[in-house]
Structure 1
């Protein structure tokens, strides 16, 4: 698509093809109250000096506070923190009430059970269209070893699930099956003992194989749950 015919929605969808981590930027307002916003435009910049950047929309209600803060933190959410991401993406009054957090060495809110966190001093704020790039100099950090939460094409995903499925398939043939849900209830088996939709997933990505099989049946997939760790 050429520049003179750009469609904002189409461009957003194209940007969304690039899988990213999910983070929550946190800081404190002048009254030392915590503020935070979900952001997935995050990147490491430099090891020496230790720099990172995150992009914040100018429409964010926390934009004035974030860009004037001397310190801020980046919380890289773990696979179990989808609800945290959703909560901090909404205009709720007290976003911090539903998350376990503590103050970092410089006082920034640090979440529990994240994949990693970084506390930073503000290095630079760079204007970038309808966003700003907040460049931070890392002053403290921790990596917990938990798997991170991913985001692509408008939906959340867990990189660990397909990876474990492929690993399991490498040891022999694996059968992929799905549980059906309708109107908030699981699909009843009834007296006919109806089987779950399933298919052989030999070779390739079992999750994609199952998704393609379900599409052929006219079924759409909304959520993936893994039993591989049970």
Structure 2
């Protein structure tokens, strides 16, 4: 009913939205609206040929539980993020309230070196060799199964090959351009 291109009927009776049409929105307005969207803060990490990389992210979610699969979105304007696709592995480290300093360090806001960022926490590995945060609420260790460029970001899709469930505690969230916990 809605898939045909020549179908320009008023669908307000069905969706309350008026005529279906493609609209372009201002990217600043979009970022302002997304600032109202609470995201669980995580650090995506990888290692390739002895080089480590870690990035604070909120754009990550489950895709499937059988097999365990998740996705992570990384800004592809940063050439250092290519290490994730080159390595073919990554870990998604779910942060708790007490990890706020790690979220800030891996966000790049403080301009710390890679070594300084990783020195802020205790790291080991699970199955893939990607750095896994000791004490994280959860660590999903993944083998990269697909990567797609979508607009400004690369969407990494990973099959979970290792998992560690950490202690229960207050989750670290990012909302209204600041860190919060629940």
Which has more radius of gyration? 1
Unaligned runs of 5+ in 2: 1-21
1:16 matched to 2:35:
yes
Corresponding residue number in structure 2 for 1:60:
78
1:46 matched to 2:64:
yes
Write the distance in 2 (CA, Å) between the matches of 1:67 and 1:74: 14
Write the distance in 2 (CA, Å) between the matches of 1:58 and 1:23: 18
SS at match of 1:139: strand
SS at match of 1:11: helix
8 Å Cα contact 1:36/1:62 also seen in 2: no
Write the distance in 1 (CA, Å) between the matches of 2:51 and 2:169: 28
8 Å Cα contact 1:36/1:88 also seen in 2: yes
Corresponding residue number in structure 1 for 2:104:
86
Q: How many residues align?
A: 156
Which one has a larger percent strand, Structure 1 or Structure 2? 2
SS at match of 2:170: coil
Higher relative contact order (CA 8 A, sep 6+): 2
Q: Which residue, out of 156, 175, 180, partners 2:179? A: 156
SS at match of 1:3: coil
Question: Deviations for 1:10-34, whole angstroms, at most 9, x for unmatched residues?
Answer: 21010121111001110012x2222
Deviation at 1:105, TM superposition (A): 2.1
Corresponding residue number in structure 2 for 1:203:
none
RMSD (Å), alpha carbons: 1.5
SS at match of 2:96: coil
Corresponding residue number in structure 2 for 1:223:
none
Corresponding residue number in structure 1 for 2:45:
26
Corresponding residue number in structure 2 for 1:129:
151
Write the distance in 2 (CA, Å) between the matches of 1:108 and 1:117: 10
Give the structure-2-normalised TM-score.
Answer: 0.80
Write the distance in 1 (CA, Å) between the matches of 2:31 and 2:61: 19
Give the structure-1-normalised TM-score.
Answer: 0.64
8 Å Cα contact 2:41/2:172 also seen in 1: yes
Unaligned runs of 5+ in 1: 160-230
Write the distance in 1 (CA, Å) between the matches of 2:123 and 2:58: 20
Corresponding residue number in structure 1 for 2:12:
none
